[in-house]
Amino acid sequence: MHHSLVLFLPDTMDLIQASFHPHELYNLLKFKLGGGRHVIPKQDFSSLSPVAQKCYFYLQKTSRSFSAVIQALDGDLRHAVCIFYLVLRALDTVEDDMTIPNEEKVPLLQTFHEKLELNGWSYTKSNEKDKAVLEDFPVISEEYRGLAEGYRVVISDITKRMGHGMSEFIEKEVVTMADWDLYCHYVAGLVGIGLSRLFSASSLEDAIVGEDTELANSMGLFLQKTNVIRDYLEDSLEGREFWPREAWCKYGKKLTDFQNLSKLPQAVHCLNELINNALRHVPDVLVYMSRLKNQSVFNFCAIPQVMAAATLAKCYSNPQVFSGVVKIRRGEAVGLMMEATDMPSLRRIISNYSSQLEAKIPRDDPNFILTHQMCLVIQDLCPPVNDRLARLYYWGRLFNVLVIIMAILMYFMFT
């Protein structure tokens, strides 16, 4: 939940896959030729201090996905969000590190916000892949202390609340659906709330964006639940369980049983129930997005939301979730990134994936009626797609693909 230019650059396999989907081939070629610059413009950081440049180096190193969209934000909001991300990445690295004893980890998480004010504080005992943000934390904290007070207050407060929330789930399992909401709130909902407050503090967005914490929380929960659902196998193989027991106990004795072929029908039913739960956040997402005025903020928020919608549609009733990795194709992702730049486009995309998901609902699914109703609610909030215009749009793109291919062939033939 949430892409850099490097991440989107197509390789040969991407082009082969896209050849079966002409509109995706068009997306890849258009992006390759610079069509994504209106969403992720090229940035020049040569004027930044060496310390600030190092922060952007760590941003790129720890998240290629978020790096480019953060760097595309306007004004001083860009740097505030960069530091916010790095602080939370450092906090998350502590939480993820299973080699840190709980008696050391819990107080560290709960007091992590205090380290922001300590000149020179670092942590060198981590074995996680992103340990550099802890080892070189003085660089991050120095930049934090240089931010405007309005930004610092938000970052410190969210870091404190998230640290306490993470420590609560160190030894606590995700049992009930309420636990699932609470866990996702601590690790992602608070991020949405913090970002919203930063948007308002920058004056790029109205105060209501930062004040309406319920909508901001839903933005984070929709992304986090999508990640938790999609990453079932990866988490299971690493001994982590984030699917709520209240849901999976209806379908099996152990969550790991879902990896067995004999349990696949029950596993898919549980998968669909959790996706139905995640979909209830979509109405809030649409209201939240409709309030945004700044284009760079809109793009920053829209990209991960449409990626999540596409991922859920692909995961729904998909047994591959329990045996491999479910990903949307690169050409599809590039198209979403370039298209989701205004509310009409966002609604159209969300409606399209809702319709795709609805068409996959099995008649024998225990949550058939609930999921069908949720899809109808989402589609009622989005304008209907005109089939004739959609066909014209498709064939127009196909024509553009053929023109681009011919131009490339002629270029290589006559040069």
**Enzyme catalytic residues:** 183, 230, 240, 300
Q: % helix / strand / coil in the chain, to the nearest 5? A: 70, 0, 30
**What is the phi/psi pair of residue 361, to 5°?**
-65, 120
**CB burial class (10 A; 0-12, 13-18, 19+) of residue 182?**
middle
CA 355 from centre of chain:
21
- Interatomic CA distance for residues 114 and 108, integer angstroms: 10
- Interatomic CA distance for residues 122 and 183, integer angstroms: 27
- Interatomic CA distance for residues 353 and 28, integer angstroms: 20
Instruction: Check: CB of residue 223 under 8 Å from CB of residue 185.
Output: no
Sign for the CA dihedral angle at 391, 392, 393, 395 comes to positive
Six-digit token pair at 367? 């949550």
DSSP state of 415: -
Six-digit token pair at 389? 């215009």
CA angle 260/265/270 to nearest 5° reads 95
Q: Pick from 165, 151, 234: which is nearest to 196 by CA? A: 151
- Interatomic CA distance for residues 336 and 350, integer angstroms: 11
| Helix residue spans in 33-76 (DSSP H) | 50-62, 64-71
Length of the chain: 415
Kindly state the helix (H) or strand (E) to which residue 78 belongs, with its residue range.
helix 77-96
- Side chain identity, residue 64: R
CA angle 69/111/168 to nearest 5° reads 85
